[in-house]
Amino acid sequence: MKRRTLLSAAAALPFAGLACKRLHKFPFGGELLGTSMEMGHFVRDGALPQPESYEPIGVIIVGGGVAGLSTARHFEGVGFHNYLLLELESEVGGTSRSGRNGVSAYPLAAHYVPAPTKELTNLVKLLDEAGVIEGYDSAGEPIFAEQYLVRSPDERIFFHGQWWEGLYLHAGESPEEARQYSAFFKEIDYWTLWRDAKGRKAFTLPRSKGSDDPEVRALDSLSFKAWLDARGFTSERLLWLLDYAVRDDFGSRLETTSAWAGIFYFAARKQGPGEESRPMLTWPEGNGFLIHHMQKVCGDRIRTGHAVTRLEPQPDGTVRIMAWNIRENRPVGFLAQRAVFAGPVQMAGRVIPALQKARGKTFFEAFPATPWLVANLTLRSRPSEHGFPVAWDNVIRQSNGLGYVVATHQSLRDHGPTVWTYYHALAGPDPKADWLKLAAMDWRACAELVVNDLKRAHPDIESQIARLDVMRWGHAMIRPRPGLLWSSELALSREPFLGVHFAHSDLSGLALFEEAQDHGIRAAEEVLDRISLPFAPASERRSGGFPGAASLK
């Protein structure tokens, strides 16, 4: 730890102390989980013994989140198996990881994907493989299996002492508030219909397929708040809904979110004006369902518990990789034809010293990420409540948290024990300070925060909790601040660096499954193009045969 960060950690301590001043004994236990912070420090300090030898291999994928697994799955799909995926944690999945106990499986973070239209081919293919798609309609649009679409009711909000259906409270709305609500969605309709000269939509998933027209890009130069102000949106209800939306999807506030990202959230999920947003696909274990599927496809080419400490790209395009096998406590080395770095951009700077040097410090500072606290509460039975019945997503209006998702909602278990996943994005203006604050909190402080928030809607919640596990995410989501999404840094981050290719949702500036998958597949294709060029044309390779692969084994 540097001196400065240590000092700010010390400054954050009173906050943690405050949270546990009331020494309340909880009638339940739990664990404080987190990403492997110690190994993270190893990686940063680089003070580990060198490996004795470097095993030659086709490709090394660094990082087993959605991006890295998508690269690996793409390799498998074209019959290329000469690769290894190295993952720091004991499980792959990154922020899509999940847990399971005697009551239910549950997400540790990401918990849904919007049901894709046929244009989102990669995601449609993955969902089809995983058994989520039952067939296709006459227009070629996928038909999703009922049990994977979010079961109704999907959302409710706690306000004025009771629960209400939906996230926007229409009850008690003034005529002006109603006008602003529909005016906002008219603005969204404009962008849903908008096409550039090439016929591309302004906002689409993945964003790489959307328009780069100056009219669209201009939206990135101001904050969502400034955009709303300019259009006279003052309705407190509407602004709350929009602020909630960006906190939930981007971990930022109206003031710290690019207007481009804010509009993207609403417009990219509609097919036409006035239409409902795309339905959601979800599973009790959240996106862990898709992770398990991708993991299965990759078989034994995944190495968990491997902390990559150094990537040294060689002038000939090969890459020397040093890693630490945590279980066996020994260094391992690889000499790869190519490497795919599928971790956060800031992390790339730490493990690729040459990249740090080449791109400079300011480049990496352009990628701030929001820390998150995610807690899983195992409940003995359902707590008492008033108003609209329990939904999938349950949001408390007067709270900084994002509410909770019921893991058993999708498994149809409506009585008795359940698991709730509580989300809290630390969306303050300074993510680094927020992370130090969160990192300094012990289990009790985290549990107090969670329980006190939930007590607003469920006064007897404490007596129902059997267990409360807390997950702290340092880098949960890249923050799409104004200016990032069309910045030179973001464009540069996608460019390969010698033999190292990059894949991560950071590279889109939006922490979305579709973006991570898009980059994972793009990186896989880039790598396959380079290493197989002398052996086979691309068309042959994509059809499944991959003659070049043999020579690399």
Minimal distance, residue 385 CB to other proteins, in Å:
14
Of the two residues 154 and 515, which places its CB atom closer to other proteins in the complex?
Answer: 154
Minimal distance, residue 301 CB to other proteins, in Å:
33
Long-range contacts of 180-187 (CB under 8 A, 24+ apart): 180/232, 180/233, 180/234, 180/235, 180/238, 181/235, 181/237, 181/238, 183/231, 183/233, 184/233, 184/238, 184/242, 185/266, 185/274, 187/231, 187/263
Paired with 322 in beta bridges are 310, 333
Minimal distance, residue 155 CB to other proteins, in Å:
13
Q: Cα separation of 188 and 194, whole Å?
A: 10
Residue 34 lies near other proteins (rule: CB under 8 A): no
Of the two residues 146 and 236, which places its CB atom closer to other proteins in the complex?
Answer: 146
Minimal distance, residue 76 CB to other proteins, in Å:
31
Residues 178-197 touching other proteins, rule: CB under 8 A, are: none
Residue 149 lies near other proteins (rule: CB under 8 A): yes
Minimal distance, residue 390 CB to other proteins, in Å:
8
Of the two residues 134 and 328, which places its CB atom closer to other proteins in the complex?
Answer: 134
Residue 153 lies near other proteins (rule: CB under 8 A): yes
Of the two residues 389 and 429, which places its CB atom closer to other proteins in the complex?
Answer: 389
26 and 469 Cβ atoms separated by less than 8 Å: no
Residue with tokens 């999708």: 410
Of the two residues 48 and 149, which places its CB atom closer to other proteins in the complex?
Answer: 149
Of the two residues 137 and 146, which places its CB atom closer to other proteins in the complex?
Answer: 146
Residue 151 lies near other proteins (rule: CB under 8 A): yes
Minimal distance, residue 392 CB to other proteins, in Å:
10
The one-letter amino acid code at 496 reads P
89: which residues sit within 8 A by CB, 6+ positions away? 35, 36, 64, 97, 304, 305
Q: For the window 229-268, what string marks contact with other proteins as x by the rule CB under 8 A?
A: ----------------------------------------
- Backbone φ and ψ of 312, nearest 5°: -120, 100
403 and 374 Cβ atoms separated by less than 8 Å: no
Of the two residues 53 and 152, which places its CB atom closer to other proteins in the complex?
Answer: 152
445: which residues sit within 8 A by CB, 6+ positions away? 16, 19, 20
Paired with 258 in beta bridges are 223
Of the two residues 274 and 389, which places its CB atom closer to other proteins in the complex?
Answer: 389
The vertex-436 CA angle with 430 and 439, nearest 5°, equals 140
Minimal distance, residue 114 CB to other proteins, in Å:
13
Q: Cα separation of 288 and 229, whole Å?
A: 39
Residue 162 lies near other proteins (rule: CB under 8 A): no
Of the two residues 165 and 177, which places its CB atom closer to other proteins in the complex?
Answer: 165
Of the two residues 27 and 389, which places its CB atom closer to other proteins in the complex?
Answer: 389
Minimal distance, residue 73 CB to other proteins, in Å:
27
Of the two residues 44 and 413, which places its CB atom closer to other proteins in the complex?
Answer: 413
Asked, as a colleague might, if the bond just before 153 is cis with ω within 30 of 0, I would say: yes
- Provide the sign of the torsion angle of the four alpha carbons 331, 335, 340, 341, taken in this order: positive
Secondary structure letter of residue 366 according to DSSP: T
517 and 77 Cβ atoms separated by less than 8 Å: no
Paired with 149 in beta bridges are 281
538: which residues sit within 8 A by CB, 6+ positions away? 528, 529
Of the two residues 399 and 411, which places its CB atom closer to other proteins in the complex?
Answer: 411
Minimal distance, residue 147 CB to other proteins, in Å:
6
Exactly one of 59, 86, 124, 150 binds other proteins (CB under 8 A); which one?
150
| Other CB atoms within 10 A of residue 201 CB | 20
The piece of 45-53, 87-95, 146-154, 181-189 that touches other proteins (CB under 8 A) is: 146-154
Q: Cα separation of 158 and 297, whole Å?
A: 42
Residues 391-430 touching other proteins, rule: CB under 8 A, are: 411-416
Residues 333-392 touching other proteins, rule: CB under 8 A, are: 381, 389
The piece of 49-57, 148-156, 218-226, 297-305 that touches other proteins (CB under 8 A) is: 148-156
Paired with 125 in beta bridges are none
Minimal distance, residue 415 CB to other proteins, in Å:
5
Residue 279 lies near other proteins (rule: CB under 8 A): yes
Exactly one of 53, 152, 362, 543 binds other proteins (CB under 8 A); which one?
152
431 and 479 Cβ atoms separated by less than 8 Å: yes
Size of the site for other proteins (CB under 8 A): 16
Minimal distance, residue 151 CB to other proteins, in Å:
4
SS3 of 221-267: HCEHHHHHHHCCCCCHHHHHHHHHHHHHHHCCCHHHCEHHHHHHHHH
Minimal distance, residue 418 CB to other proteins, in Å:
12
Exactly one of 146, 236, 300, 316 binds other proteins (CB under 8 A); which one?
146
Of the two residues 4 and 415, which places its CB atom closer to other proteins in the complex?
Answer: 415
Minimal distance, residue 384 CB to other proteins, in Å:
13
Of the two residues 271 and 381, which places its CB atom closer to other proteins in the complex?
Answer: 381
Minimal distance, residue 263 CB to other proteins, in Å:
26
The piece of 99-107, 125-133, 150-158, 225-233 that touches other proteins (CB under 8 A) is: 150-158
Residue 275 lies near other proteins (rule: CB under 8 A): no
Q: 3-class DSSP state for residue 341? A: strand
| Other CB atoms within 10 A of residue 488 CB | 9
397 and 240 Cβ atoms separated by less than 8 Å: yes
Q: Which residues of this chain interact with other proteins, rule CB under 8 A?
A: 146-147, 149-153, 279, 381, 389, 411-416
